[in-house]
Structure 1
Amino acid sequence: MARMLTLQADPQKAAEAVGQVIRRGGVVAIPTESFYAVGASPFDEAAVRRVGRMKGRAQGKPLLVLIAEPAQLEGIVAEVTEGAAVLMQRFWPGPLTIVFPAASDLPEVLTLGTGTVGVRQPAYPALVELLRRTGPLTGTSANRSGEPPAQTAEEVQAALGSEVDVILDGGPTAGGLPSTIVQTVGSIRLLREGPIARERIAAALAEAGLVLAS
């Protein structure tokens, strides 16, 4: 069973404990705006491999990364494309994952050889504060591939408690749709429509003279 920490009881102490686990190469489960996520340092190849194994993740599905603020893109992305900059300005923080060119030294196990990496800046204040302390973390949902995502710490414990080191209990999450995903490498394409509709993405890009591919 994973160690359970309560976020509301002492947020600072909980964040410090999670940070220590991450720095030791550990894997944690953390609450987001929608579901619980499995977090590990995206720069730690062994930790990212652990996340992939516990998810039972199929090849061809890279892991996304959560950041506290755009400054944390350093070391993760090779460049911020014009389209990405427009979408960051309009929709971050929020439920939009932007696919960037990946930094050359980012572990291939994270990108699965695609040369790209998906990144999101969440709008959940407690998670943002945690990410400021830990640095960027992977943000894949805390469930095995093909199973429903967890909305409570208890559901994470039941599904992955033997495989994560710590579960940060932030209470029930809101659920809803997974984030919208937009590819900004080459042509700008909508990979998955979520809380932010295609029309809003297209309109934001059009204002900057850019086009969302059909």
Structure 2
Amino acid sequence: MIASASSPETFWEAARLLKQGGLIAFPTETYYGLAVDPFNAQALQRLFTVKQRAANKPVLVLVHDQAQVRLLAEKVPAELQRLMDRFWPGPLTVVYPAQKELPALLTGGTGTIGIRQSPNLTAMRLLEEFGGPITATSANHSGAAAAVTAAEVEAIFGKELDLIINGGCTPGGAGSTLVAWDQQGLHCLRKGLISLAELGLEKLFSFA
């Protein structure tokens, strides 16, 4: 079912579905994303099945604010905090050491968790209504092009989703920039909308 982002009832229903283990699609600042409760192992399994995603590939998570990062990350190194303060909300996914009790599918067995605060108003409203983090892996079958409209999401998944929030056409193009930290320092794992030059850290970054 496609529902309009202009209706408050859409977000109430989306939050209700997520709390019951549902799977929904919603717009972000890049593509449409697929949302489940990241702490619900059964919902995560359904997400991976529908997306046809390998179990060793982690999925990123959106948070409403920086306080929610602590629900997912074991620690927040100062280097990552500095990037959060400067570029959030925005298309920068930050990879942290993960809380050990997180579902294995969420981290892909990596021991890390990728988190972003989206500037998309529909995504932020969904997060506010749900009251916790949500997954935001791109709306596509693994390896295929990601959907940029609600109609494209419906064409890909049909009735496999419980709800599609129609927030208009998303920009597409490059995804979020992916940055991680380890004992050797900062690493750029994926180039994206925020360039290394914009980050002002190009001399510190390496690709791993």
Q: Same fold (TM over 0.5)?
A: yes
Tell me the alpha carbon deviations over residues 52-85 of structure 1, each in whole angstroms, 9 at most, x when there is no partner.
1111113432100011111111321111111110
Answer yes or no: is 1:212 the counterpart of 2:205: yes
- Which residues in structure 2 correspond to 1:70-89 (within 5 Å)? 70-89=66-85
CA contact (8 A) 1:87 1:205 kept: no
Q: Secondary structure at the match of 1:99?
A: strand
Residue in structure 1 matching 2:176, options 176, 179, 191: 179
CA contact (8 A) 2:180 2:188 kept: yes
Q: Please name the residue that 1:165 is paired with.
A: 162
Answer yes or no: is 1:196 the counterpart of 2:189: no
Q: Secondary structure at the match of 1:161?
A: helix
What letter corresponds to residue 3 of structure 2 in structure 1? Answer: L
Give me the whole-angstrom Cα distance separating, in 1, the residues matched to 2:10 and 2:89.
Answer: 23
Give me the whole-angstrom Cα distance separating, in 1, the residues matched to 2:182 and 2:126.
Answer: 29
Give me the whole-angstrom Cα distance separating, in 1, the residues matched to 2:147 and 2:178.
Answer: 20
Q: Please name the residue that 2:117 is paired with.
A: 121
Residue in structure 1 matching 2:151, options 154, 169, 173: 154
TM-score by length of 2: 0.93
Q: Please name the residue that 2:3 is paired with.
A: 5
Aligned length: 205
Taking a change above 3 Å as real, the CA distance of residues 40 and 65 of structure 1, as seen in their structure-2 partners, is same
CA contact (8 A) 1:99 1:185 kept: no
Give me the whole-angstrom Cα distance separating, in 2, the residues matched to 1:43 and 1:37.
Answer: 17
Give me the whole-angstrom Cα distance separating, in 2, the residues matched to 1:46 and 1:59.
Answer: 13
| Cα RMSD after superposing both structures | 1.5
CA contact (8 A) 1:34 1:178 kept: yes
Give me the whole-angstrom Cα distance separating, in 1, the residues matched to 2:65 and 2:194.
Answer: 20
What runs of 5+ residues in structure 1 fail to find an aligned partner? Answer: none
Give me the whole-angstrom Cα distance separating, in 1, the residues matched to 2:129 and 2:92.
Answer: 22
- Which residues in structure 2 correspond to 1:3-152 (within 5 Å)? 3-8=1-6, 10=7, 12-134=8-130, 135-152=132-149
Q: Secondary structure at the match of 2:142?
A: coil
CA contact (8 A) 2:31 2:146 kept: yes
What runs of 5+ residues in structure 2 fail to find an aligned partner? Answer: none
Give me the whole-angstrom Cα distance separating, in 2, the residues matched to 1:143 and 1:103.
Answer: 27
Taking a change above 3 Å as real, the CA distance of residues 116 and 56 of structure 1, as seen in their structure-2 partners, is same
Give me the whole-angstrom Cα distance separating, in 2, the residues matched to 1:49 and 1:154.
Answer: 24
Q: Secondary structure at the match of 2:188?
A: strand
